[in-house]
Chain A
Amino acid sequence: MADIYLDNNATTKVDHEVVDVMIPYFLEQYGNPSSIHKFADGVARGLKQARQQVQALIGCEHDSEIIFTSCGTESNSTAILSAIKAQPNKKEIITTTVEHPAILSLCEHLEKEGYTIHRMPVDKAGRLNLESYKKLLSDQVAVVSVMWANNETGTIFPVAEMAELANAAGVMFHTDAVQAVGKIPMMLQDTKIDMLSLSGHKLHAPKGIGVLYLRRGTRYRPLLRGGHQERGRRAGTENSASIVGLGKACELALNYIEYENTTVKEMRDRLEKGITESIPHCFVTGDLYNRLPNTTDIAFEYIEGESILMLLNKAGIAASSGSACTSGSLEPSHVMRAMDIPYTAAHGTIRFSFSRYNTMAEVDAVLEVMPNIVATLRKLSPYWDGNGPVANPEQAFAPTYS
């Protein structure tokens, strides 16, 4: 069997139809969209169509609310920095402990510059407490930034409800929706969300293209100045081929959104059920009843994630892990820590994330190798003894810290 790609929350394969619509923008319509000649005369039309395709997927009222950027991270930075620059007297930001580093690192940086950052905790299932959220909202808060769906566990936050609450308190609301767009049906015009970030490469468009949705009337300050592109809200020559590709990808995503929530979900569920039934001492993390349809994050206790990934890779299977070693840091994933997953499990989390390109046969292939991989590593583990964990594992093996 060909290699199996189950790391679609990291990035996705570009759809062939997307590549096809992009090619003319490299070879024929390569003119600068601002130019007045035949090498550019179709570009503006292509960009307009792409804007409308994005608009249709996220359900916003006007296509002029779509600003093309270079990536999700740029959209996130633009949104938060715009909110604080437009409201210089407000010195607080509300976010969560489980955001992507694109938000968390920026907030940490702003904290050094004197901003107060409220990082809302989550419970063991990765859920927020809306009562404490309400108490944080005030006229001191410049912006709330809460992800729509978590990249590691797939847990979905109630962003529409949270945006309503923010709006009622007169606070701007931004959501990092790079994992949610294309997997969850959206109708932004019916919400009070002011800004939303999305990223092309998470939905079968190329890397290097993103979108910031900016509700009409939201006060805004550009990150990049220097040109009239995107109505002066994001200067820089348009990445026309990628924009057109993203438009096509959004059109396809809209067509497949039901498939994502039925067939893709069935594959995810089958894998999850198969693993948890055949392998002892493992559990699914996050909010099991409120998740992206394509994601499962499973903690294998008493073994470490990078080792699991290396053995999976040898078997031709690609996934990802929240262990410290995978990233070269000293702590396991901040999302696992925020959910209070014990260290002996947090380091052994493996995320399988599906796309419409996966098949049931691939699920069965993973189910065939997974029990052996886990057993092989448990044989090496000081926390494991024969067929189960040692009694009182934390006491039985308590190494000197080094």
Chain B
Amino acid sequence: MWDYSDKVKEHFFNPKNAGAVAEANATGEVGSISCGDALRLTLKVDDDTEVILEAGFQTFGCGSAIASSSVLTEMIIGMTIDDALKVTNQDIAAQLEGLPPEKMHCSVMGREALQAAIANYRGEVWKDDHEEGALICKCFAIDAVMIEEMIWANKLRTVEDVTNFTKAGGGCAACHEDIEGILEKVLAEKGEKFDPESAPASKSEPIAAVKGPLTNLQRIKKIEEVLESLRPALMADGGDVELVEVLGNTAYVKMTGACNGCQMAAMTIAGIQQRLMEVLGEFIKVVPATEMAKLTNIEVA
């Protein structure tokens, strides 16, 4: 049984705005019947103000698909379509108090239906830009298609490479056999052979580890350098990280984009901390910037 939040259950058992909007002037249809999830979103948009007056959904899908559709309609009614376009799938998931990794795609479907409906209102054609594969890494919700693309794009050769570039396999490690299988397949397509012993793919300029005590300025510069090196992997997931403040051995960071509100954010932060400690050669704690006010107050007191 899935561990659904109370909010998911609430929206599933008592969905809001079910059914098609009468006199809708925007319709978005997304999903895949083979995967078992499909959604039609209908909107009534005020032509003068571009405010969404009404929204209705019709969904073929599981509990979280219906809940995602329902909560989405609640979120966007009263928004202008420009503001509605800023709603991310993480916003939808956060509004539902989180979704299991296997079910994050339900929130993606909600966001895409919204984009499709707004494109339809504007007389544009919406095009889906991603393909979804079987879920491989359950710790970080990474699917097979993403891993394959990264192997192709970055000439990855080992499981370690895949973890460095996608985070897949960086948690419980149970999916390493599956990742090896994907490596075998893609490398065979490239005419190469998978060798688990081969050297990791060259990363962009390895960062030299430092020794000895650091001044605060040196520490901040080094932290910036490490975050810069981790940025491509985060951005591949649609997220980003920003250094806000360094106080003693604590670095405060702001997770942005897709990382914001994601259930995996805590594990990502732990990964950043690990990397920083390796490079800086000293203990350093990475804390979300939202915790800063609390902690600094305690220190002052």
Chain A positions near chain B (C-beta within 8 angstroms): 302-307, 310-311, 314, 323-326, 328-332, 343-344, 347, 379-383, 394, 397-402
Contact = CB atoms under 8 A, between A and B. Distances in A.
A7 to B, nearest CB: 12
Interface core residue of A306, A331, A332, A343 (most chain B CB under 10 Å): A306
Contacts of A331: 34-35
Nearest first, the 10 A-B pairs at minimum CB distance are: A325-B62, A328-B102, A306-B62, A382-B58, A347-B36, A399-B29, A324-B36, A382-B40, A399-B31, A402-B30
A399 B36 contact: no
Interface in B1-33: 9, 12-13, 15, 18-19, 29-33
Nearest to A378: B60
Contacts of B30: 399-402
Interface residues of B, number: 43
Contacts of B62: 304-307, 323, 325-326
B63 A400 contact: no
Given A302-B60, A328-B135, A382-B59, A402 B130 contact: yes
B128 A402 contact: yes
Interface core residue of A306, A314, A331, A382 (most chain B CB under 10 Å): A382
Interface stretch (B47-55, B108-116, B159-167, B228-236): B108-116
B36 A343 contact: yes
B60 A330 contact: no
Interface of B: 9, 12-13, 15, 18-19, 29-40, 57-66, 100, 102-103, 108-109, 112, 116, 126-128, 130, 132-135
A303 B32 contact: no
Given A302-B60, A330-B132, A380-B18, A401 B65 contact: no
Contacts, number: 111
Given A325-B36, A330-B132, A399-B39, A382 B29 contact: yes
A400 B132 contact: no
B39 to A, nearest CB: 7
Contacts of B127: 400
Contact of A304 (B13, B32, B61, B128): B61
Contacts of A330: 34-35, 132-134
